[in-house]
Structure 1
Amino acid sequence: MPVETPFGARLKALRQKRGLSQAALAGNDISTGYLSRLESGARQPTERVITYLAGRLGVDRSALFSPYTSSSLSEAVSVAVSTDSDDAVEAVVTALASAQGDDPLVRWQALWLVAQFRRRRGEHAEERTSLEEAIRIADGLALTALQCRSRTELARCLRATGDVTEALELAVAAYELARESGVSVSDTSKALLTLVSAEAEAGRLPDARAHVDELVALVANHSDALRTEALWAAATVRSRQGDDDGALAFIQQAMDSLDSRVDLVLWARLRLAAASLYLQARPTLTKPAHACLAEAERALSLVGTPVQQQELLTLQARLAFADGHVAGARDVLDRLDFERLALSYRDRVQLQLLESLLLIEEGHREQGLSRLKRLGEEAHRDSNMNLAAQVWRVLAEALEQSP
């Protein structure tokens, strides 16, 4: 049974198809502000408004609610690109499900939009499905830029879910495509970013260090998010190598390079990353971690996704534990909805690591130690060597403490 597209997305598509501005469609009977809210999905139309708009567009009322078919996939993609709203992307999901024989380039773009949408929501399995089809289409078209871009994003998705071995293979393939075919600096940089993160997770730190230094040099003259993320990656690799001073210098440089007015989401994510590095430093630097999380919390209250809110709570719990506030850390964790966790594999391990330490501090020593051992074994089995080493180190420190 066909599924109807949201009214707002369909309305906008019909208006744009006829080359009408919002003011031209609104006419004298409704305001452009009201029409804009209808198109965004913020308002629902009355029967009178539906009749009025159908008349202005020269269509039957049913056209404003008609299901998408294969011929309207390009229309759905155009609306989604121009509006940047989740409702519009959901219309693309609907169109993809019923489209047949559509232009492969349009379908690739639709899959790309849907994958980004799934990523924001932490729906990694659905994101992976979209990206796997995107790779097949890109390969069929033999378009190097799309082949590189699709592999880069799928590698990033797999790394986030803990599939390090496959992520590393895809990241290497994406980087080799970028290097051999001369794609854009943006695509090459993103391939390198993903390769560095996969190598770091796999414990291949010398390789990660060489590639991240290459990345930083590549984007040295850029002043946008590419340079900021490269500096962030350099900080992460140095932290994994035990170079706390180098890590903190790079993350500070990354934070200084980005104005919150340019990209508030990235600005907030940098502060989450900095807080994590402060907590991993030896000795732990709780004061700057508090400052970073306070800034991130204010920003994420405006623009944060559910995934980012979960990351914030996890870091707040880790900080409370580092401050010696065991009960406070437990209180923060109790605010997490464990039935709807959308955290990455690494963040899930960090969360389980904290829970194990809390059990030990709360008097359940054997249970906590057993969970740490199991966690280390799982990370090692999944080829997450860096995480496994971290868990074994924490376990060793816990065993040294007197019961």
Structure 2
Amino acid sequence: MATESSFGLRLKVLRQQQGLSQAALAGDEISTGYLSRLESGARNPTERVIAYLAKRLDVDRSAFFIQPSSSSLTQALSLAASADSSEATEDLIDVFATCRDEDPLLRWQALWLIERYWHERGDHAQQLACLEELTGIADDLELPALQCRSKSRLARCLRAAGDITRALDFAVSAHQVAKQVGLPVSDEANALLALVSVEAEAGRLPDARAHAEELVELVAEAAETLRAEALWSAATVCSRQGDDAAARAFLQQAMAILDSRVAPVLWARLRLAAASLHLQGSPPSTESARAYLKEAQAAFALVGTPVQQQEILVLQVHLAFEEGRYAEARAAYSQLDVDKLMLNYRDRIRLQTLDSRLLIVEGRRKEGLAQLKQLGEDARRAANLDLAAEIWQVLAETLEHTAAG
């Protein structure tokens, strides 16, 4: 039986290569709507349908399941997909840079792997370039499944880079495509994950909460990794709304359903999220934060990336600050190369906010306050209203505290 990625994608290309509309190819035996769902990957074909379409296109049935060429890009892609190693992906990047006239589907598949490589290394610029091209190819092919996946990933990348306005446009578009075409649950869920995260960042918290609830309900019977991510998303929204109890409850559910042997990276990332959530509480729960951070450190010692090592160090700075260990917080902060941070926009701004608070504690009050004001203004101009409000709150509390002192 064909998979959505092999049959649907090849069917679309073969139809377009022959200049046929969906109606012309469908003929009298199948509906245009059914053909559209085959091409999008929302439906799998039966053997009778495969034989019928092969006859209409005058091709052998094998044409639906093979790549059109055995180029160097095909070889590099096959090696990268099967080897699961950075060296193989780096070879693919080199080959991809020299190939311009390959099948667009082949380019899309290569870019999908390359984008993940840059994501794991925290190179947002390279990741963004890949996703922009991925989205362009998907739109040219008019394949809803690829459009949804590309735009969902692009929205999350733009959010991480702080470009909230564009991120929201792509997240909304991805969700609309998934709903209109009736894509599989995994595609609709990933679109919702992107949409919820962007809406929360934009300060559209009621919308984010409603979509988070829709997401949790949607994946109730899905794989545990997807359910865990949905619950984490709901926890994030609750936290932004100041509902710490609900946020912790959602995150506890996420951690409870996920086995570390099934998804060790996600398992550890949830612990980092829990540590961060407990540090952001009012008042902060440093004991719980320290316990979760310790669990995450142990896991990431085996499976962590440089990005996650930075995230751990940033949380160590936060923990030391909240416990009043200011010298240790500054020492940990000094271990970070601020010019080479691989963190997302929110985490980078939060780190700078913490640096401002440290400056004030260290007696450099004027410098620290000026930096806080600038950070709040920068977040506002980036349309990151939720983060801007968080910084202004820190500034107000700092001014109140220093005035009282």
TM over 0.5: yes
2:200 paired residue number: 200
2:328 paired residue number: 328
1:110 paired residue number: 110
1:148 paired residue number: 148
Q: Which segment drifts farther, 221-230 or 383-392?
A: 221-230
Q: Secondary structure at the match of 1:316?
A: helix
How do 1:2-401 and structure 2 match up within 5 A?
71-401=71-401
1:5 paired residue number: none
Query: Using the alignment, how far apart are the partners of 2:89 and 2:160 within structure 1?
Result: 22
* Equivalent residues of 1:70, 1:95 under 8 A apart: no
Query: Using the alignment, how far apart are the partners of 2:312 and 2:78 within structure 1?
Result: 34
**Structure 2 residue ranges without an equivalent (≥5):** 1-68
CA shift for structure 1 position 338: 2.1
Q: For 2:379, give the aligned amino acid.
A: A
| CA deviation profile, 1:105-156 (whole Å, cap 9, x unmatched) | 1110001111111111111111111111111111111111001111111111
* Equivalent residues of 1:314, 1:351 under 8 A apart: yes
Runs of 4+ in 1 over 4 A off after TM superposition: none
Query: Using the alignment, how far apart are the partners of 1:185 and 1:86 within structure 2?
Result: 30
Q: For 1:260, give the aligned amino acid.
A: S
Q: For 2:75, give the aligned amino acid.
A: E
Q: Secondary structure at the match of 1:274?
A: helix
Q: For 2:88, give the aligned amino acid.
A: A
* Equivalent residues of 1:71, 1:99 under 8 A apart: no
1:56 paired residue number: none
Query: Using the alignment, how far apart are the partners of 2:203 and 2:100 within structure 1?
Result: 44
**Structure 1 residue ranges without an equivalent (≥5):** 1-68
Q: For 2:286, give the aligned amino acid.
A: T
Query: Using the alignment, how far apart are the partners of 1:85 and 1:217 within structure 2?
Result: 36
CA shift for structure 1 position 301: 1.0
Query: Using the alignment, how far apart are the partners of 1:128 and 1:151 within structure 2?
Result: 11
Q: For 2:164, give the aligned amino acid.
A: V
CA shift for structure 1 position 281: 1.0
CA shift for structure 1 position 90: 0.8
CA shift for structure 1 position 335: 1.5
Q: For 1:245, give the aligned amino acid.
A: A
TM-score (norm 1): 0.82
Query: Using the alignment, how far apart are the partners of 1:191 and 1:216 within structure 2?
Result: 13
Query: Using the alignment, how far apart are the partners of 2:278 and 2:136 within structure 1?
Result: 42
| CA deviation profile, 1:139-184 (whole Å, cap 9, x unmatched) | 1111110011111111111000000000000000000000000111
Query: Using the alignment, how far apart are the partners of 2:241 and 2:362 within structure 1?
Result: 32
CA shift for structure 1 position 343: 0.6
* Equivalent residues of 1:70, 1:99 under 8 A apart: no
Query: Using the alignment, how far apart are the partners of 1:359 and 1:136 within structure 2?
Result: 45
Query: Using the alignment, how far apart are the partners of 2:88 and 2:378 within structure 1?
Result: 40
Query: Using the alignment, how far apart are the partners of 1:136 and 1:343 within structure 2?
Result: 26
Query: Using the alignment, how far apart are the partners of 2:92 and 2:316 within structure 1?
Result: 37
CA shift for structure 1 position 70: 8.8
Q: For 2:235, give the aligned amino acid.
A: A
Query: Using the alignment, how far apart are the partners of 1:159 and 1:181 within structure 2?
Result: 25
2:17 paired residue number: none
CA shift for structure 1 position 328: 1.0
Query: Using the alignment, how far apart are the partners of 2:113 and 2:70 within structure 1?
Result: 17
Q: Which segment drifts farther, 227-236 or 69-78?
A: 69-78
Query: Using the alignment, how far apart are the partners of 2:336 and 2:70 within structure 1?
Result: 41
CA shift for structure 1 position 222: 2.1
Q: For 1:310, give the aligned amino acid.
A: Q
* Equivalent residues of 1:70, 1:98 under 8 A apart: no
CA shift for structure 1 position 85: 0.8
* Equivalent residues of 1:318, 1:329 under 8 A apart: yes
Query: Using the alignment, how far apart are the partners of 1:351 and 1:280 within structure 2?
Result: 13
Query: Using the alignment, how far apart are the partners of 1:319 and 1:260 within structure 2?
Result: 25
CA shift for structure 1 position 285: 0.7
CA shift for structure 1 position 337: 2.2
Query: Percent identity among equivalent residues?
Result: 58
* Equivalent residues of 1:223, 1:257 under 8 A apart: no
Q: Secondary structure at the match of 2:71?
A: helix
Q: For 2:397, give the aligned amino acid.
A: E
* Equivalent residues of 1:148, 1:177 under 8 A apart: yes
* Equivalent residues of 1:124, 1:157 under 8 A apart: yes
Q: For 1:162, give the aligned amino acid.
A: G
Q: For 2:111, give the aligned amino acid.
A: L
Query: Using the alignment, how far apart are the partners of 2:199 and 2:253 within structure 1?
Result: 23
